[in-house]
Amino acid sequence: MAKTKKRRRKYQDHFDFDIGVLPTRERAAHQGGLVREVRDSNEKESVRVLGYRARNECLLDKLLEGGELGKMDIAKRRHDTGIRLRALHIRTHPESLGMRYETTQKDKGEMSDAMAWNKKAYQDALRYLGMYARSVQAVCCYDAKQSDYRAVIDGLDRLEKLW
């Protein structure tokens, strides 16, 4: 009878915690698969919170994956800038997701401070983009394909300087 070796566990320098429901095989097959990414971590990155998102959730993800946004680091920065503009658009235009903004004070029609800040930041970003605003907004916010992405790239570079 052969002796079996005891397996030694190697020391891990970090702990990973998955949040949300783990995806099924069917869900993983949609939109180019899933990406597991770090959502949050402590200063030493010894504890990380991981989550799943679709690989090609929007047109910006497809452009990043296809190399349309440029080379590695520059493309990632442009992608992050576009995603930030997209998030502001979603926060300020909830009707685009099928939601409606309802005020808590029905008679006065006031909006929350967070909603007001998001609207101001979104309007400032579009104003700062100038002539690039329409093309950047079309690609980042409405997933509209373009024949040439040069104006979008120039606009994202300009917007990155603002943020």
Asked if pLDDT for residue 159 goes beyond 70, the answer is yes
Instruction: Give the number of other CB atoms < 10 A from CB of residue 107.
Output: 6
Mean pLDDT, rounded, of the chain: 78
Does 77 lie in the same domain as 42?
no
CA distance linking residue 53 with residue 45, whole number of Å: 21
C-alpha distance across the termini of the chain, in Å: 67
Confidence of residue 20 (pLDDT cuts 50, 70, 90): low
Does 78 lie in the same domain as 112?
yes
CA distances from 86 to 69, 90, 92, 116 (A): 16, 6, 10, 17
Domain tally, the chain:
2
Does 76 lie in the same domain as 152?
yes
Q: Which of 47-51, 60-64, 103-107, 108-112 has the lowest mean pLDDT?
A: 103-107
50-78 average pLDDT score: 84
Does 120 lie in the same domain as 63?
yes
